[in-house]
Amino acid sequence: MINMYDTRELLEALIQMLPVKTFLLDTFFRSQELHLTGNVDIDVEKGKRRLAPFVSPLQQGKLVEKRGYNTETYTPPYVKPKMVTTAEDMLKRMIGNHIYSGGMTGADYAAVQLGKELAILDEMITRREEWMAAQALLTGAVVCTGDGISQSIDFQMEASHKVTLTSTDLWSDTTNATPLEDCEDWAELVAKDSGLTVDTIIMGKDAARAFVNHPDVQKKADNLRMFMTRITPDQIKPGARLLGAIDAVSNIYVYHEWYWNGSANVPLMDPKKVILGSTQARAVRHYGAIQDLDSTASVSRFPKSWTENDPSARMLMLQSAPLPVPHQIDGFVVAQVLA
């Protein structure tokens, strides 16, 4: 007989579970890499738009400087949420069960409870990954604080890619602000610094409302001869809503998603900010080594279960070392468009 709590059984159960829907991770961080080390080293080579020098065919060839590279080192932060099932829990009615229904043995209850708890822990970790992706794109850094950890990971986003509008440039100014030109300028900045083309714009709730209602946008959207600009609300996936497109530059989405900070639901996407990015930018979900003696492979999740004798309890823990890294950070611009 195989114990359902063996690591191999837990891993198999975890693989079969449906992941939490995550818009930012699915849009930009679509690839993942697993590592057997605590640190992740990435070599980054940035090119320049150099021109070949003119030279007379009677002269020697002109030497040009070789391109160098930088090595970026990241240490993925660690998460290890766990849950406990006691003997007392097994005496309580499970949700959805009739008060007098019977037939469930202790093993049956344990199997059902295992599935529920694995799903809860996996959702918590995935939601944390989405939070990290949001912080990386909104601030250019991820700050991780918790029990025994205080870690700041800076992705070196240029100051010019972190825009804060003021005064009459704010999108709340319906007379002087030019939201369409702003988006075009920021898309041009991405093209200049990264060589990539912006194809996605993500707006917070307030920013999207100011954008859609702005006369500058309304005027262009109402011009039937300009099909390239359209505002056609359409639900595309949980948490995100497609607004339309700007002059064939980008698709515009509104992102509605929250997380619980211990006292209130907080939006993952700053309501007053806008993110412009390219889905072609290299952005990877990295997973560091699982620091557990029972772990023998590089995995994104490592479940573990054990019993305590006094008081009697079954512990279930899920470990991971995730870090979404926007390697081509120049492929993104974040702008605060409202005060």
- 202 and 269 Cβ atoms separated by less than 8 Å: yes
| Residue in 251, 169, 270 with CA at minimum distance from that of residue 214 | 169
Q: How far is CA 264 from CA 144, 155, 258, 260, in A?
A: 19, 28, 9, 6
Q: The dihedral of CA 239, 244, 248, 249: what is its sign? A: negative
What separation in angstroms does the CA of 54 have from each of 63, 66, 96, 121, 187?
A: 11, 18, 79, 62, 32
pTM for the model: 0.85
Q: Which two structure tokens, joined as six digits, stand for 240? A: 């995100």
pLDDT given for residue 7 in this prediction: 61
* pLDDT per residue rounded down to tens, the chain (339 residues): 445 556 656 666 555 555 577 899 999 999 999 998 888 877 666 667 778 888 878 888 888 787 766 777 888 999 999 998 876 666 555 555 554 555 566 666 777 777 888 888 999 999 999 999 999 999 999 999 999 898 899 998 999 999 999 999 999 999 999 999 999 999 999 999 999 999 999 999 999 999 989 998 888 776 534 444 555 555 566 788 888 877 656 789 999 899 989 899 999 999 999 999 999 999 999 999 999 988 877 899 999 988 888 888 888 999 999 999 999 999 999 999 999
What pLDDT, on a 0 to 100 scale, did the predictor assign at position 75? 87
pLDDT score at 136: 96
Alpha-carbon span 43 to 35, nearest angstrom? 15
Domains of the chain (ranges plus CATH)? 7-42+71-154+284-324 (3.15.30.10), 159-282+329-336 (3.30.1930.10)
pLDDT for residue 196: 94
Structural tokens at position 140: 């250019």
Do the strands 149-154 and 162-164 form a parallel or antiparallel pair, or are they unpaired? unpaired
Candidates 223, 192, 218, 167; CA nearest to 337 is: 167
pLDDT of residue 225: 43
- The closest alpha carbon to 153, from 162, 161, 145, 144, belongs to 144
pLDDT of residue 125: 94
Instruction: Give residue 329's pLDDT.
Output: 93
